Amino acid sequence: MSTPRRALIVIDVQQEYFRDPLAVQYPPREDSLARIAGAMDVAEGAGVPVLTVQHEYPEGAPVFASGSPGWRLHPDIERRPSAKHVVKTLSSVFSADGVAEWLQAEGVDTVTLVGYMTNNCVLATAAAAEPLGFAVEVLSDATGAIHLANEAGRVSAQQVHETLMVLLQSNWAAVAGSDAWAAAVAEGRSLPASDLGTSAMQGR
């Protein structure tokens, strides 16, 4: 099997996710932040290009308002180098201008997703990568979810996160911890992925 040509995509690691109402709850946000920063360090050392992404709404919006404190990247991310930075207004990273084209120009065939939130922009980006032909990796301990409640019911952040990791592994991504990913990067190999049929059989 050929060596994956990876890019690390750091999704929306912004101050908004470290304060209410969007404070990441599971995995603990300080733990996931450390894993995200560590993945950036691994990528830099291995020559894996890093793309940082920042969500933005217009000035005066209740969250992610352009120029507001919550809009800013977390300092642990902001101080680390990246090959490219983009701003988006929709969930998928691929909604930002030029992302797919930049990845293709870099020769990337595999995108590794870290950041926030599991239940929104990580999920949307993983799904959007499929028709573009990119393989996807998701680092389970370098992403995070929030508690959710609405007309459909109520779920904890842990339930959201763990369910979506199984869902992603079943079809759209290879899911692993950041240590396993770092080893795969060092060894030039892919992470093991499942598929819907296998996951369905094992689920039975």
What are the boundaries of each domain within the chain? 6-203
Alpha-carbon span 95 to 6, nearest angstrom: 20
**Average pLDDT, integer, range 44-69:** 97
Other C-beta atoms closer than 10 Å to the C-beta of 102 total 17
Check whether domain 6-203 has CATH 3.40.50.850, yes or no: yes
Alpha-carbon span 160 to 153, nearest angstrom: 12
pLDDT at 204: 85
pLDDT in tens, 76-130: 999 999 999 999 999 999 999 999 999 999 999 999 999 999 999 999 999 999 9
pLDDT at 51: 98
| Model confidence band, residue 1 (pLDDT cutoffs 50, 70, 90) | low
pLDDT in tens, 153-203: 999 999 999 999 999 999 999 999 999 999 999 999 999 999 889 888 888
The Cα angle at residue 129 between residues 181 and 61, in degrees rounded to 5:
100
Question: Would you state the structure tokens that stand for residue 62, as one six-digit string?
Answer: 């209740």
User: pLDDT higher for 202 or 43?
Assistant: 43
What phi-psi label fits residue 47: left (phi over 0), alpha (psi between -120 and 50 degrees) or beta?
left
pLDDT in tens, 127-165: 999 999 999 999 999 999 999 999 999 999 999 999 999
For residues 11 and 113, the answer to whether their CB atoms sit within 8 Å is: yes
DSSP sequence for 64-81: SBTTSGGGSBPHHHHTS-
- Which helix (H) or strand (E) segment is 137 a member of? strand 135-144
Answer yes or no: pTM beyond 0.85. Answer: yes
CA distances (Å), origin 86, targets 59, 106, 198: 18, 16, 36
